Amino acid sequence: MFNPKRLSLARKRRRLTAKALAELAGLAIDTVLRLEKGAHSPDDMTIARLARALAYPHSFFTSSDPMDLDVDAVSFRSFSKLSVREREAAIAAGSLGLQLSAWVEERFALPQIKMLDLSYETNPEVAALNLRQFWGIGERPIGDMLGLLETHGVRVFSLSENTAAVNAFSFWRDNKPYIFLNNFKTAESSIFDTAHELGHLVMHKHGDPKGIRSSEREADAFASAFLMPERDVIARIPRPITVDLVLRAKQRWRVSAMAMAYRMKALRLLSDYQYKSICIELGRRGYRTAEPGGIERETSIVWRKMLSHLWSERTTKAEIARDLNMPLDELEGLIWNLAAVGSHPDRNDKPLLHAV
Ligand SMILES: [Zn+2]
């Protein structure tokens, strides 16, 4: 049976209008529109044309309904900046991610979910400290933010959207936390986005706070406080603060130079005037749009382990994609294009997951 929702999903993933798809597939636009509405059942030949035009496997279009995201419950940063097409493509990636996640959970026991519901907390600094305390990580810098979230049960996927407009988004579904991260930004920005989405997950689990609270401001403040705890920053930063000191500090806390300087200002280590002149100098050295000499991108440890386990059973990524009726490029886009190879022997590693 042909599934109209799947046609719509694949078209949105490929960022095509119905008209563009019709042209690519050599079909009338009316046909495409009626197929997506479910008003018309296509023959095998038509499905084959659509599959070829979209570079999706034929079987994708005859599978069960996709797992939809509750779009209202999804946190989108700079939501207004997204074009409809970017937004739809990202939401469709989320839907594929859910499908992949369900596939994984049938095969592996993922780390237990250890999250706090801090939606009553209106102070992001306090919320960040509470979560750190709950996770028992003190106030030290975090060496691997993505890994930290994964070990506490957050399901993290990458978004290979070739645009910086889509930062990241997160949501709860069936009491499981999900984060999707754009791979296109600098590693430092991605870490900040991860912490920002973590802020949404713990502070805005039940949706946007009402009244004078701004969820975006709160998530940013949470990220800043979570990555750069006040006491640690104040204890470690000598005065006077120079640009070179900011650049050394950003290495320690694994954030962008601008985020580091902003935190110093927020903690009153820098006056408004000092902050401004440091920002100007950082901009001059190229730190407004990039992170010269930046750190390596964080990728999923859960997926690395899963892939190496599957590889040991001779299961390749192409086979996983086939099992999911998904194109390989979509699967790879969701898992940082990680390679399926044998694991680097890490004997002291605590087992993070096991096959079920
Ligand atoms: Zn946000």
CA of 300 relative to ligand 1 center, distance in Å: 21
CA of 265 relative to ligand 1 center, distance in Å: 22
Q: Report whether pLDDT(307) > 50.
A: yes
For residues 244-261, give the mean pLDDT: 97
Nearest to 32 by CA among 47, 14, 52: 47
Q: Using the structure block, give the residue that is written with the tokens 């997950």.
A: 201
Q: Report whether pLDDT(232) > 70.
A: yes
pLDDT confidence of residue 183: 84
CA of 216 relative to ligand 1 center, distance in Å: 5
CA of 219 relative to ligand 1 center, distance in Å: 6
CA of 94 relative to ligand 1 center, distance in Å: 16
Q: Report whether pLDDT(336) > 80.
A: yes
CA of 303 relative to ligand 1 center, distance in Å: 25
Q: Report whether pLDDT(76) > 80.
A: no
Q: What is the pTM of this model?
A: 0.92
For 106-137, what is each residue's pLDDT tens digit?
999 999 999 999 999 999 999 999 999 999 99
CA of 85 relative to ligand 1 center, distance in Å: 19
For residues 34-45, give the mean pLDDT: 94
Tokens describing residue 27: 């079909």
Mean pLDDT of the chain: 91
**Cβ–Cβ < 8 Å for 253, 286:** no
For residues 209-220, give the mean pLDDT: 85
* Conformation bin of residue 65: beta by default, left when phi > 0, alpha when psi is -120 to 50: beta
For residues 322-333, give the mean pLDDT: 96
Q: Report whether pLDDT(339) > 90.
A: no
What is d(CA 184, CA 338) in angstroms, rounded to the nearest whole number? 15
CA of 102 relative to ligand 1 center, distance in Å: 25
CA of 119 relative to ligand 1 center, distance in Å: 15
CA of 227 relative to ligand 1 center, distance in Å: 16
CA distances for 261 relative to 247, 272, 296, 325, angstroms: 9, 11, 21, 47
180 — phi, psi (to 5°)? Answer: -115, 130
pLDDT confidence of residue 345: 47
Binning the chain into helix, strand and coil, the percentages to the nearest 5 are 55, 5, 40
CA of 179 relative to ligand 1 center, distance in Å: 11
Higher per-residue pLDDT: 19 or 88: 19
Higher per-residue pLDDT: 113 or 168: 113
pLDDT confidence of residue 119: 93
Of the pLDDT bands very low, low, confident and very high (cuts 50, 70, 90), residue 204 is very high
Q: Report whether pLDDT(348) > 50.
A: no
For residues 132-154, give the mean pLDDT: 97
**Cβ–Cβ < 8 Å for 40, 31:** yes
pLDDT confidence of residue 106: 94
What is d(CA 158, CA 177) in angstroms, rounded to the nearest whole number? 15
Q: Report whether pLDDT(59) > 80.
A: yes
pLDDT-above-70 percentage for the chain: 94
- When mean pLDDT is compared over 140-144, 169-173, 348-352, the highest value belongs to 140-144
Residues β-bridged to residue 75:
170
CA of 293 relative to ligand 1 center, distance in Å: 27
For residues 175-198, give the mean pLDDT: 94
For residues 2-20, give the mean pLDDT: 96
